Amino acid sequence: MSVALPAFAAELLRESRVARLGTADRAGQPLVVPVCYVFDGRACFSAIDAKPKRTQAGGLRRLRNIAENPRVSLVVDRYDEEWTRLCWVIVQGRADILTDGPERAGAVDLLRDKYVQYRALGLDRETATVIRLTLERAMFWSWTGATG
């Protein structure tokens, strides 16, 4: 499914450096975590990287939640003390966990291009775990009046 986004919302998704990923488990218990991500025009991708975590990557609650309930949201916003620059976009859709294949490798390449830190951390296109969020719905707002 293709989601139509106004130019400001598509640019915000492409250019922002951090987003908040919202997941929920089978019982509906929510979790929101900050993530680095990339938007390829159709889907958003986020990798489970080598930064220190409280639990091993395979046991991360966001991955367990996606396995139980693949419905997710991703929020990207821009805050500025000059409020005429405020805007946000929320995309909702289905998350899938990619552990192999060309789509996973391509997502890793995009993430490594966007974040030099992923090159330094050695994010590997052959072993990385990647979350793909296929966009099904978008909501957006900007001070200039663009809403959806």
The pLDDT of residue 52:
46
Indicate if the alpha-carbon torsion angle 77, 139, 109, 34 is positive or negative: positive
Distance CA 36, CA 8 (A): 19
Single-letter code of the amino acid located at 125: R
| pLDDT, averaged in runs of 10, over the chain (148 residues) | 86 96 96 97 90 56 96 97 94 97 97 95 92 97 80
The pLDDT of residue 1:
54
Distance CA 96, CA 73 (A): 13
The pLDDT of residue 94:
98
Phi, psi torsion values for 89, nearest 5 degrees? -140, 140
Looking at the DSSP bridge assignments, the partners of residue 25 are none
Q: Domain ranges in the chain?
A: 7-142
Per CATH, the number for 7-142 is 2.30.110.10
Phi, psi torsion values for 64, nearest 5 degrees? -60, -45
Q: Which two tokens stand for residue 59?
A: 């046991």
Q: Can you tell me whether residue 15 is helix, strand or coil?
A: helix
